[in-house]
Amino acid sequence: KQEVTQIPAALSVPEGENLVLNCSFTDSAIYNLQWFRQDPGKGLTSLLLIQSSQREQTSGRLNASLDKSSGRSTLYIAASQPGDSATYLCAAVRPGTYKYIFGTGTRLKVLA
Amino acid sequence: SQTIHQWPATLVQPVGSPLSLECTVEGTSNPNLYWYRQAAGRGLQLLFYSVGIGQISSEVPQNLSASRPQDRQFILSSKKLLLSDSGFYLCAWGQTGFEQYFGPGTRLTVT
């Protein structure tokens, strides 16, 4: 059974720092991995999807990587800004299936 | 482009009252549709998903039900709300095994 873990649960950094958020999964079989951002009281916003055949995806200051052998995905945020403050969630989905398995998220605060 | 709508945005209902939350998707056809609940300080809980009209899969036994009367419409219902039904309800759509997109959510408070 796939389980997704995100550590740390909360993170506070000064503005301008580069940071890494971690997502671990127990089943290293073929999965796509999606990263989301959630602002307080809002829905989830899709950031990046890494397909199981890919190793990384980039969008602006965000870079997500996938290492199936170690069961890890990381979200790298370059030059963090106060506007990056939010909860970041990752979710794994097996290609050809319907269910997404979510981590519990990392609450990020970027201090001005 | 695709858009997903949810309403109402907020709802306060007494215990024992009925519930109907609606979700509609625009700009895509035959999407997979999902209802999630997010309780305060907790992760996302998948409640129902649907891969087609009239096809509903339930993930958690409870007093909630879902229906999909049209291709891009997904409804979450209850005949009698419980205090434990309070939470943030999120609708999402996706194509099988690929990206999932979420609506703005409905904040439900049962009093």
pLDDT by residue (tens digit) across A19-53?
999 999 888 776 889 999 999 999 999 999 998 88
pLDDT along chain B (111 residues), means of 10: 93 97 94 92 88 91 91 96 95 88 96 97
Contact B44 A89 (CB under 8 A): yes
**What would the 3-class secondary structure string for chain B be?**
CCEEEEECCEEEECCCCCEEEEEEEECCCCCEEEEEEECCCCCEEEEEEEEECCEEEECCCCCEEEEEEECCEEEEEECCCCHHHCEEEEEEEECCCCCEEECCCEEEEEC
Mutation for B interface: A49, A98, A104, A107, most B CBs within 10 A: A98
Q: Choose the closest CB to B49 out of A36, A49, A98.
A: A98
- What is residue A1's predicted lDDT score, i.e. its pLDDT? 76
B96, A44: Cβ pair inside 8 Å?
A: no
- Gap from A7 CA to chain B (nearest CA, Å): 14
pLDDT at site B61: 66
